[in-house]
Amino acid sequence: MTSILKSLLSPAHQVLNMNWRNGFTIPTSDLYPFQWNWDSGFIALGHYYEKPSYAIQELSSLFSGQWKNGLLPHIIFHSENEKTYFPNFDFWNSQVNPGAPNKPKSSGITQPAVHGFILEYLLNQNPQDQQLVAFAKSIFPKIVHYHRFLYQYRDPLKEGLFFIYHPWESGRDNSPLWDESLNRIVVAEGDLPPYQRRDTNIANPEERPTKEQYDRYVYLLLLGQKYQYDGREIAQESPFLVQDDMMNAILIKSNQSLINIGKKLDLDTGEIEEWNQQSIASFNTKFWNDQLGLYTSFDLRGGRQIAEKEIGGLIPLFAQIPSQDQAGRIHDYLHNLQINGYYLCPSFDVDSPSFDSCRYWRGPVWPHMNWMIYHGLKHYGFLDTAAQIKADTFEIVDKFGFYEYYEPLKSKANSLVKGYGGDNFSWTASSVIDLIHNP
């Protein structure tokens, strides 16, 4: 291990320990004081090296917020006394759905279904860990139930591809991908109840969504609430209705992991295999864009692909969906960025007018995204670029600290002293820990 890696490892564990809250880990203090769904998956990876029981507790706490219909919420509000976040549990009012647990309180939408692949990854680290094996058996049906929710409530055309109706579900909240759909929402004075944002008091407003964007987020939240967060009417009415490439790729990856785990632990996987066959076939026909040489998301309301070069279009590599030729095209995209002076991997097309190198999801680099792309590149044999994305991740974290996201343009980054968004960020620490251990 080189000295830069050694010097990153112990502060990374410190970040995770600092953010541990007696059973789960917050992404960062101040900005995100609760448990976030897909963050927790990545966080479990980092904990497992030093404190395997924390990894198990992390996932258990998350699933303690699962709804009867299977939905795994994007935020679990373990504390009802913490009032510094908007929208808090009272604004979500998830109890409009009778299957939402009363405790812990939760939001009413979801996030990327990473838990299946995280569980397999942990099991592969240490197949002899009996506590983990027992845990895997107990959580397996809950993850399946969650996937079933996505197919049952979010796939009206029965294509094997599910939709989201809120950008926050995508995990890439402020991506330009959502602009056109969000612009369909016209919020007039008095349409929304009064609300007070908290994020812009804590983080630099230039790195956060604008007021118009935020109003539309609130509008979509209230639309979900009107239909108990699972009603069929959501798909009929929502101006924002997108089949996201990254979320569907992650679901496919997690399905495959559940199939692998089920085979080893003698658990039934018939239903999951059926889902996955259909999902993979539909994914390739509906999301591949040959002109871009990347996958794209699909705007169900507008009836067309969202033809942009965006980081979600690279994640199918991780899910092993593309053919070797398609993977080669995706690799070309990354290679061009690399030779043009960017850290891998900017979250949006650097040549687009919507690119914004410091506003979240409109350009910056995210270490947990790099973690997935790294594994995808390795699978397809692009070892040099895999090594590059790993080296870039170490370099930015070493230079700027454990931030939420980072400046992608090297010439601009040279004049900066820190990253963007929240500091001491858990999944950044976790991704670094795991990349250090991964040869």
Catalytic residues: 173, 404
The one among 20, 24, 34, 38 contacting ligand GLC by CB under 6 A: 38
Please give the angle made by the CA atoms of 373, 73 and 364, to the nearest 5 degrees.
35
Cα gap 316→289, rounded to integer Å: 13
Q: How far is the CB of 76 from ligand GLC (least distance, A)?
A: 12
Q: How far is the CB of 245 from ligand GLC (least distance, A)?
A: 16
- 30 touches ligand GLC (CB under 6 A): no
- 24 touches ligand GLC (CB under 6 A): no
| CA within 13 Å, CB half, 379 | 17
Our CB check for ligand GLC shows the closer of 171 and 376 to be: 171
- 32 touches ligand GLC (CB under 6 A): yes
Biggest alpha carbon–alpha carbon distance for the chain = 60
Helix, strand and coil in the chain, % to nearest 5: 55, 10, 40
Contact in structure between 435 and 2 (CB atoms under 8 Å): no
Q: What is the number of other CB atoms lying within 10 angstroms of the CB of residue 186?
A: 10
Segment near ligand GLC (CB under 6 A); pick from 31-39, 122-130, 139-147, 288-296: 31-39
Which three-class secondary structure state does DSSP give residue 324? helix
Segment near ligand GLC (CB under 6 A); pick from 4-12, 33-41, 63-71, 344-352: 33-41
Q: How far is the CB of 215 from ligand GLC (least distance, A)?
A: 17
- 39 touches ligand GLC (CB under 6 A): yes
- 318 touches ligand GLC (CB under 6 A): no
Our CB check for ligand GLC shows the closer of 37 and 97 to be: 37
Q: How far is the CB of 408 from ligand GLC (least distance, A)?
A: 16
Cα gap 284→296, rounded to integer Å: 10
Long-range pairs of 299-304 with CB within 8 A, sequence gap ≥ 24: 299/180, 299/181, 299/241, 299/242, 300/163, 300/235, 300/241, 300/242, 300/243, 301/181, 301/184, 301/238, 301/239, 301/240, 301/241, 301/242, 302/180, 302/181
Residues near ligand GLC (CB under 6 A), total = 7
Our CB check for ligand GLC shows the closer of 247 and 259 to be: 247
Cα gap 175→177, rounded to integer Å: 5
Q: How far is the CB of 431 from ligand GLC (least distance, A)?
A: 12
Contact in structure between 362 and 176 (CB atoms under 8 Å): yes
Our CB check for ligand GLC shows the closer of 116 and 171 to be: 171
- Using CA atoms of 230, 231, 236, 238 in order, give the dihedral in degrees to the nearest 10: -50
Name the amino acid, one letter, at 260.
Answer: N
Segment near ligand GLC (CB under 6 A); pick from 35-43, 47-55, 79-87, 284-292: 35-43
The one among 27, 46, 312, 313 contacting ligand GLC by CB under 6 A: 27
Closest CA to 277 of 303, 300, 299, 259: 259
Our CB check for ligand GLC shows the closer of 112 and 322 to be: 112
- 46 touches ligand GLC (CB under 6 A): no
Q: How far is the CB of 105 from ligand GLC (least distance, A)?
A: 17
Q: How far is the CB of 242 from ligand GLC (least distance, A)?
A: 15
Segment near ligand GLC (CB under 6 A); pick from 11-19, 34-42, 65-73, 137-145: 34-42
Q: How far is the CB of 266 from ligand GLC (least distance, A)?
A: 34
- 87 touches ligand GLC (CB under 6 A): no
What are the DSSP calls for 414-435, one per residue? TT-SS-BS-SS-HHHHHHHHHH
Segment near ligand GLC (CB under 6 A); pick from 16-24, 36-44, 89-97, 379-387: 36-44
The one among 24, 36, 77, 348 contacting ligand GLC by CB under 6 A: 36
Our CB check for ligand GLC shows the closer of 167 and 376 to be: 167
The one among 173, 179, 180, 395 contacting ligand GLC by CB under 6 A: 173
Name the amino acid, one letter, at 13.
Answer: H
Q: How far apart are the first and last CA of the chain?
A: 10
Contact in structure between 46 and 430 (CB atoms under 8 Å): yes
Cα gap 53→51, rounded to integer Å: 5
Q: x/- site string to ligand GLC, residues 153 to 172, per CB under 6 A?
A: ------------------x-
The residue with tokens 């690119």 is 355
Our CB check for ligand GLC shows the closer of 252 and 311 to be: 311
Segment near ligand GLC (CB under 6 A); pick from 32-40, 42-50, 278-286, 431-439: 32-40
Our CB check for ligand GLC shows the closer of 97 and 107 to be: 107
Cα gap 389→214, rounded to integer Å: 32
Which residues lie near ligand GLC (CB under 6 A)? 27, 32, 36, 38-39, 171, 173
